[in-house]
Structure 1
Amino acid sequence: MPDDALKLKRLRLVNFRKFGGLSIDFDDRLTVLIGDNGSGKTAVLDAAAIALGAFLIRVNSPHHTIVGRGVQASDMRLRSSRTGSVISNQPQPLEIQAAAVFRNDDVVWSRTMNESSRRQGGMLRHVTQASQALQREITEGGKTSLPLFAYYGTGRLWLHKRDRQYSEGFFSKGFSRANGYIDCLDYANNEKLMLNWFERMTQIELQKQQLGVDCRIPELDAVREALARCFTDLTGRRQVSVIFDLSVNSLMLVDSDDSGSPQMLPFENLSDGYRNTLSLIADIAYRMAMLNPDAEHILDSPGVVLIDEIDLHLHPKWQERIIHDLITIFPRVQFIVSSHAPSVISSVKSTHLRGIRQVQVGETQTDVFGNPILSDGLSESERSLRYTAYIPTVESYGHNAGTVLEDIMGANDRPSSVKRELSRFHHALDTGNLAEAEARLSSLENELGNDPDLVAGRVSLDLERLDGDDALD
């Protein structure tokens, strides 16, 4: 592993949100969290953001206070108890244990909160040392790559930071590598800060042009490259570039039509699917450019990126490409994402998937320190609060949506009423009741049209009739 790499390896959650306990490990490159609504996927991503926020404890910018994600009192699991006719909810002591590899060193830490103090605590010595190392790189002008941290919640398209600090001209105060960490783990989008960076870098580029000097700005070129590559992959269009139009203070995609004439597409006028994806790519890339402006290959910066519902607003044909695009454009980032989309799930190997389930009787887990956690001796109610992550035993990569829905996500690939009618048709066929089979199949054909399963059913029914005719002969 390169000397500047950062990988989040494991989390152990105790009394965090719905979880009395949860153990989960992460793939070094990509982890896709799957499961029903309410299974805890967002809680895992929030916990990861809180854990990673400890890396920013000692990081400061001369232009802005860097605040990492912290534990809130609302994160503590509530335990209900009854005294007479009164039911009370008692917050339980919360702990997030985490293990990572940072610059080839194992880092283990925890973040805690208890009901009595409602203050954050935890075992932070190792991660604080790592945070101090990041700050030294920033203040002493080091050249070692700083890792990216970023979290993109489900409100990333419409939930924006409202902060006067991000008014026009924010970056005219000067640049600090630490600015790449501003609001990086906040669930709210900070698109304004990104656009201000584009504006300032474009102004510098124009000033260089006016002075007749080399106007190339590698960090701006890197962000433009990331956006152009993504847009090209989504649309298949090859003549794409990205500019910031100072006359209207807007990011523009410049695309050539069939005649070769350029078309200006304002960023804010794009569809939700385009804008959501390109905004995410742009935010990752510009943060890399701020963190590592002198890197030879800025898009090769290391880091951990968390994305809730990566398929948000995306057409299925984009869903199957989004993960490939992310890991290709940003080859050294560890992505931890959640998804409900079969198109996303079938685009990755099952070894990258993590579902969440309750622990079984006698099942042994380990915490981030390698200590065993036994479920023996727990009451049924206590065991119901213990969860673990698992890798599906069925391969996901390349399978159709129906297989993914049924075998991996545990959902029906068709409406229940249609499945019942199909089952009744096959039962009639198997028992030789061809008249009933014909009636049920014809009804389904009227409803569903040219469905592959119905075509196969029609062939089977016709063959049964031929066999019957042969027997009569």
Structure 2
Amino acid sequence: MEIQRVILNNIGLFENLEIALAPTEQNPSNITVFVGNNGAGKTSILKALATSLSWFTARLRTEKGSGTPILEDAILNKANGASIEIEVCHSSITPNNPDHIDYRSKVEYLKWTLAKNRKGRKSQYTSNLGDCTRLASLYRDALTHDDQISLPLIAFYPVERVVLDIPLKIRTRHTFGQLDGYDNSLSQGVDFRRFFEWFREREDTENESGISPDLLNKLRPLYKEIPDVWQYLNELQASARDRQLTAARTAISQFMPYLENLRIRRKPRLHMAVDKNGETLNVAQLSQGEKSLMALVGDIARRLAMLNPALENPLAGDGIVLIDEVDLHLHPSWQRSLCHRLIQTFPNCQFVLTTHSPLVISDCKNVLVYTLTNSELRQIPSQYGQDANMVLLDVMDTSIRNEKIDTKLKDLLEAIQDDNLAQAQELLTQLTEELPPNHLELVKAKLLLCKQELRHASH
């Protein structure tokens, strides 16, 4: 399931905005990225998509379910009403049981419109959710005949997804059935508490049918003495591994390879542990960036695992994932590889992202990138392989250095090129007092000035 196009009428800052989302013919990746200044409307686009998709997940649960309405505050000022229209491309639902029929044998294109009028006003926009209801009904019909059918992930991770704590105790137990993969998926973002509870429950089941990792490590010294027994124990452990847990562990290790063996420990108190570069740590000891990324990736993997119970690799499930400010709390090296790892780890999910980082859009081929400026949307050419400073200048309209210093450096270079050596020397003296001695542009300017002075001295 993929969104092909969204049309916003009087939503946020946009009077009329039509957006095609990747994959497209020119951009075959499954990632669309919006960049722009704060207040440009990036978040409004994601929220509009989440609002429209909420009606699909609600009607998948129950025939007459209601999703999130368009808020009156989201309507463009002075407009009487607003609408969100999305067009969805949806491929066939194939039951896992070959005795059952294939409910749809070809790709279908569906669209639905959600509208909202201001109180006491009339508007040209009306809701039409017929295709949304029909698509949800197809899934409910498939689930009726095969409770192992795969469902598409639909999730929105807002900027408020910061992970501040990890629970030590679970006071309210939740269920983890297939449809529970949609719980709070469009309204709450990352829920580490739910992830912790789900992980603990799956691991308890896994340990019941196999050997706990801690016990296996204690038996490691037997390897040299009884190699056949050690091999048997490892094979037993491998066969007992929970497929859903394996998906979560695999996803996290794809993004943070130095983290291994994520697990629940009971002593000295209940907590989640992980091995970082060979040292066992409480997950709460990780940095905010590490916890945020682990929670985000873990939550996507958890939901995919729940929604695709019969897939050998649940990470291959499809769906639509919206992430606001995807670079939040991430080190530049993580930002650089983020799109590539999303594609590699979740190959069949469509991602719609917003970012302020030039590194996110310059290190992955075929990503569809839009800039937003004064409510105007513009698709930009691929930034793959582009220098991050050039992306800052050309795409994000941001100087690569302090503007005052940048002006002085430009004046210095112009003075050198114009053979105005006295002015150049004065500017160089000023900059030398302000900048560190190893400043690259300053070093270059000194060399150029020295060459000009030598050339003049030889004449």
Fold in common (TM above 0.5) = yes
The yes-or-no answer on 1:48 pairing with 2:49 is yes
1:245 matches 2:265: yes
Letter in 2 for 1:110: T
Structure 2, unmatched stretches of 5+, are: 24-29, 92-106, 213-235
1:129 Cα offset (Å): 0.8
Report the 3-state secondary structure (helix = DSSP H, G, I; strand = E; otherwise coil) of the residue aligned with 1:21.
strand
Quote how far apart the aligned CAs of 1:149 are.
Answer: 0.8
Residues 35 and 409 of structure 1 are in contact (CA less than 8 Å); yes or no, is this contact kept in structure 2?
yes
State the alpha-carbon separation in 1 of the partners of residues 389 and 211 from structure 2: 59
Please, which of 286, 289, 295 is the counterpart of residue 279 of structure 1? Answer: 295
Q: 1:170 aligns with which of 164, 171, 174?
A: 174
Structure 1 residue 158: Cα displacement = 4.5
Counterpart check, 1:95 vs 2:116: no
2:277, 2:366 → 1: CA distance? 39
Q: What residue in structure 1 maps to residue 4 of structure 2?
A: 9
- Tell me, what secondary structure is at the counterpart of 1:108? strand
Q: Which residue of 2 aligns with 1:355?
A: 371
- The yes-or-no answer on 1:319 pairing with 2:335 is yes
2:215 equivalent in structure 1? none
Quote the residue 1:377 is aligned against.
Answer: none
Aligned partner of 2:223 in structure 1 is none
Percent identical = 28
- SS of match in other structure, 2:141: helix
| 2:203 maps to 1:195 | no
- The answer to whether the 8 A contact 1:159-1:189 is kept is no
TM-aligned CA distance change 1:70 to 1:349, over 3 Å: farther
Distance in 2, Cα, partners of 1:185 & 1:117 = 29
* TM-score, scaled to structure 2: 0.82
**Distance in 2, Cα, partners of 1:411 & 1:210:** 55
Q: Partners of 1:135 and 1:270 in 2: how far apart?
A: 41
2:242 partner amino acid: I
Asked whether the 8 Å contact 1:98–1:108 carries over to 2, the reply is: yes
Deviation sequence 1:67-99 (CA, Å, 0-9, x none): 7444222222221xxxxxxxxxxx620100111
SS of corresponding position for 2:32: strand
Query: Structure 1, residues 98-132: CA drift from partner, whole Å, max 9, x if none?
Result: 11201121111111111137999611111211111
RMSD: 2.9
- Give the corresponding residue for 2:315: 299
1:132-190 deviations in whole A, cap 9, x for unaligned? 12223334325442111111111101589x9x9x844323xxx4211111111114432
Contact 2:81–2:118 (CA under 8 A) maintained in structure 1: yes
Q: Cα 1:145–1:388, aligned 2, differ >3 Å: closer, same or farther? A: farther
Q: In 1, distance between residues paired with 2:282 and 2:138? A: 40
In 2, Cα distance between equivalents of 1:155 and 1:10: 26
Give the TM-score of the pair, scaled to structure 1.
0.79
* Alpha-carbon offset, residue 255 of structure 1: 3.4
Whether the 8 Å contact between 1:16 and 1:76 is mirrored in structure 2 is yes
- The answer to whether the 8 A contact 2:362-2:387 is kept is yes
d(CA) in 1 for partners of 2:249, 2:35:
32
Equivalent in 232, 247, 269 of residue 222 of structure 1: 247
Match of residue 393 from structure 2: 406
Distance 2:271 2:134 in 1: 41
Match of residue 138, structure 1, among 140, 143, 162: 143
- Report how far residue 314 of structure 1 moved: 1.1
Contact preservation (8 Å) 2:363, 2:385: yes
Alpha carbons 1:223, 1:285 under 8 Å: kept: yes
Q: 2:148·2:310 contact (CA, 8 Å) conserved in 1?
A: yes
Aligned residues: 408
Please, which moves more after superposition, 183-192 or 244-253?
244-253
SS at match of 1:347: coil
Change (3 A) 1:431 1:255: closer
In structure 2, distance between residues paired with 1:220 and 1:189: 17
User: Who is 1:428 aligned against?
Assistant: 415
